[in-house]
Amino acid sequence: MRRSEQGFTLVELLITMTLMGVVTVGLADLVVNALHQMSATSDRLDMAQDAQLGAAYFSGDVAAVGLRDYGAVALDGSLPFRPSVQLDAADSAGGVVCGPLPAAAVRLLSDDWDTSVIPAVRRTVVVAYYVNAAGELHRARCLGPSTTPSSDLRLATNVKPGSLTVTCSSTCESAVVPEGVSLRLSMSRPSTGDYDVVLSGLRRQS
């Protein structure tokens, strides 16, 4: 008895390989697009988390801003403020040192009282928001009389150079401390493009 030796012809093999190539290319495109979308989604989530972290810190810092002028008394008996918001400020702006640090887009100054001693001692708090050479937004905080930052937190990465702007509800650096302060910036990654962020806060002190 003869065995059947039927199989695929060369033409059938070539057609099959061509179809497999077409299918493989299509699947590869789908996989690449899916990975790209995953990367873009992950980057957007990272930037959104950075924005939330920055917003929490900035609103609290603005709420506390305000240096009292204890050498003067207003007609109504209240203590007036001294300029408490500094823009494009060096780490020794206004004679209040907190550093060494790069120039800050904004420094927010406030009073703090050490009640662990009698009488209580007034200290100055400096919070500086700056972008370093790596494009990271940092928040550094000094508590006088120490001039060395007690903390220096990285709040955001991939900040676009020159994108930081500060606006106030009134003149920022006036002795009449503004009621509100906002910090605007843009973060950028290749997978997502620009991501604009606004950090804002309202002052509590009156």
Predicted confidence (pLDDT) per residue in 134-146, tens digit: 999 999 999 999 9
Residue range(s) defining the domain that contains residue 72: 41-202
Q: What are the start-end ranges of the E strands in 70-164?
A: 81-82, 85-89, 104-114, 121-131, 137-143, 151-156
- Total structural domains within the chain: 1
51, part of any domain? yes
83, part of any domain? yes
99, part of any domain? yes
Q: What are the start-end ranges of the E strands in the chain?
A: 67-68, 81-82, 85-89, 104-114, 121-131, 137-143, 151-156, 165-168, 180-189, 193-202
97, part of any domain? yes
Give tens-digit pLDDT for 30-80: 565 555 566 678 888 889 999 999 999 999 999 999 999 988 877 777 889
Indicate the pTM of the whole model: 0.81
